[in-house]
Amino acid sequence: MPASPTEDELTPAIIELKKENPELGIAKVHALLTNKFPEWIVSEKRTRKILQNQGLIVSATGQAPNVQVYPSSRVVSGLNLAKWTPKVDVKWFDKRKGKGLVATQEIKEGEVIWKEDPFIVAPEWDIFDLQTRSLACMFCTTPLGDSPLITTCLASNITSPCTARFCSRLCLTRSAQVHPLLCPARNPASIPLIKFARETRWMALHALTHCTGRLLLAYQSDEKTFNDDWEISCALAELGMEERHKYSFNLSGQSEPDRDAWKKAHRLFVQAFKEPGTPLDVKKLAKILKKPLPKNLQTALFDYDTGFLRGLGRMSLNLEAHGGLYALHSHLNHSCDPNVSVRHLNQRTALARITLIGKRDIRVGEELLVTYVNPQAPYRARQNELQGWGFGACTCPRCVEEAKKLKGGNDQELADLASELKAGLGVM
Ligand SMILES: [Zn+2]
Ligand SMILES: [Zn+2]
Ligand SMILES: [Zn+2]
């Protein structure tokens, strides 16, 4: 029987059609939609509204129509999963939960599900210090021994030295994805930004520095490279703007920078990648970024609210504990009783590479879940930490069970929490 689809059903369907047919206008996308889903009752007005909300059509006051629009969305298009594993698929759950990964085949306890190198890695500060002291690879973060393959940054010279060293020529070549913009020899305008991130131990800022460097350099190469990288960075989960005051910019246990620090970081960020402070630095940056950025992309990266703060929020939500950002791993949702563990198994050869392993048998269709917090921590501590990150109350089966038990006990405060949880689940 024909029925009106929910927003959560309709939105991903429209996004997919528009991405498959980027040249089509509202009426044609709508026609495709009604063709593809004859059982749905949808007005063209509703299709238009969703396209607008998703930033997939240019508004009357917006950019010229020949400028490409870069939407920010939670649905990944063109993410080539086969590159990592045939064992999982991306699934869109609903607006509240967003996306996640489900098993497409039986996975056994102890089985390797996939291995993944980071999209970018802004390593923990002790590793970062090794990098700047030439003791760890500037690209893959692996501590360096005395291998004859080790190579130095080619741009380094006496007047503007760069201490970066790399495991091998392969790491050196790959570092062209991001190092040129962070290299003190090639882009000295980035020095104050990186120094500030280090002083404040601000991992999300450091990660955003790497991510922006990678996107800007991808834009200088071919269109496909850029579109792939842009998709990955847009697909990262982000907090809504209304939740911005809850942004937690550091990994847990570290203090959160205040608004003045955000402003200062933004100033240094713009100085590093867009408007260096001295004519010489301007010249050096222009040598790396020859192709000018379109206006909408400049806004998406450098605008204080819509670019910078959102970018920081995205980084802090998606960074793995050691500072890497992974295209596929970042799709995993949380459970306090996870069925997947994340390991750094290649300590000697590729420190930043992660291996995802089944913690127990996983059925086809079952969601893959990791823990964002220490699973040994008690109920209340886990809830607090997750809420501190802006994730809201955890309603995983373990939390529901433990909340129930606590409700049976005498602790009134915890009992209240338990009923809040139940209310969140709609079982009150
Ligand atoms: Zn390396
Ligand atoms: Zn360098
Ligand atoms: Zn939980």
Q: Ligand 1 mean position to 340 CA, how many Å? A: 27
So what's the ipTM on this one? 0.92
**Using an 8 Å Cβ cutoff, are 358 and 110 in contact?**
yes
Name the residue among 96, 100, 118 with its Cα closest to residue 339. 100
Mean pLDDT confidence for 370-398: 84
Alpha helices in 237-338 (DSSP H): 259-273, 279-288, 295-302, 310-318
Percent of the chain with pLDDT over 70: 82
Query: How far is residue 233's CA from residue 72's CA, in Å, rounded to a whole number?
Result: 9
Q: Which amino acid is at 392?
A: G
Residue 254 phi/psi, 5-degree rounding, is: -110, 150
Q: Nearest bound ligand to CA 173?
A: 1
User: For residues 96 and 92, what is the distance between their CA atoms, to the nearest angstrom?
Assistant: 10
Range with lowest mean pLDDT among 96-110, 218-232, 378-392: 378-392
- Indicate the length of the chain as a whole number: 428
Q: Minimum mean pLDDT among 32-41, 218-227, 275-284: which range?
A: 32-41
**What is the mean pLDDT of the segment spanning 84-111?**
89
Mean pLDDT of 189-212: 95
Tell me the average pLDDT of the chain.
Answer: 83
**324 CA to centre of ligand 1 in angstroms:** 14
Gap from CA of 158 to ligand 2 centroid (Å) = 12
Banded pLDDT at 421 (limits 50, 70, 90): low
Are 233 and 215 a contacting pair, CB within 8 Å? yes
Residue 143 CA, ligand 1 centroid: distance in Å:
8
pLDDT band for position 6 (cuts 50, 70, 90) = confident
pLDDT tens by residue, 402-419: 988 887 665 555 555 555
Q: Contact at 8 Å (CB) between 315 and 204?
A: yes
Greater confidence (386 vs 141) lies with 141
The more confident residue out of 35 and 272 is 272
Residue 137 region by backbone torsions, left for phi larger than 0, else alpha for psi between -120 and 50, else beta: beta
How much distance in Å is there from the Cα of 129 to the middle of ligand 2? 15
Q: pLDDT tens for residues 228-263?
A: 898 888 878 776 433 444 444 443 444 556 778 889
- Asked whether the predicted pLDDT for residue 106 surpasses 60, the reply is yes
* pLDDT exceeds 50 at position 355: yes
Residue 7: what pLDDT?
Answer: 79
Q: 273 C-alpha to center of ligand 2: Å?
A: 16
Instruction: Determine how β-strand 333-334 pairs with β-strand 367-370.
Output: parallel
Distance CA 52, CA 39 (A): 24
Share of the chain above pLDDT 90, in %: 48
Residue 230 alpha carbon to ligand 2 centre in Å? 24
Contact yes or no for 190/162 (Cβ under 8 A): no
- Separation of 258 CA from ligand 2 center, angstroms? 31
Distance 336 CA to ligand 3 centre (A): 4
Listing DSSP states for 388-427 in one string gives HTT------HHHHHHHHHHHHSS-HHHHHHHHHHHHHHT-
Q: Tell me the C-alpha to C-alpha distance, in Å, between residue 352 and each of 328, 347, 388.
A: 14, 8, 26
Q: State the distance from the centre of ligand 1 to the C-alpha of 134, rounded, in angstroms.
A: 12
Q: Would you say residue 71 has pLDDT above 60?
A: no
pLDDT of residue 329: 92
Ligand in closest contact with the CA of 383:
3
The confidence score (pLDDT) of residue 69 equals 29
Q: For 158-189, write each residue's pLDDT tens digit.
A: 999 999 999 999 999 999 999 999 999 999 99
More confident residue, 424 or 283: 283
Q: Could you tell me the distance, in angstroms and rounded to a whole number, from the CA of residue 60 to the centre of ligand 1?
A: 48
Give the lowest-confidence range in 6-20, 62-76, 142-156, 175-189. Answer: 62-76
What pLDDT was estimated at residue 188? 97
How do residues 307-343 score in pLDDT, each as one tens digit? 898 888 888 888 888 889 999 998 898 999 999 999 9
> What pLDDT does 247 receive?
43
Ligand nearest to the CA of 384: 3
151 alpha carbon – ligand 1 mean position (Å): 10
Of the CA atoms within 13 Å of residue 233, those in its CB half-sphere come to 29
Q: How far is the CA of 98 from the centre of ligand 1 (A)?
A: 34
Mean pLDDT of 291-295: 92
Tell me the CA–centroid distance for residue 257 and ligand 3, in Å.
28
**pLDDT of amino acid 252:** 42
Locate 115 and state its tokens. 């291995």
Q: Point out the least confidently predicted range of 293-297, 344-348, 402-406.
A: 344-348
The ligand that comes nearest to the alpha carbon of residue 151 is 1
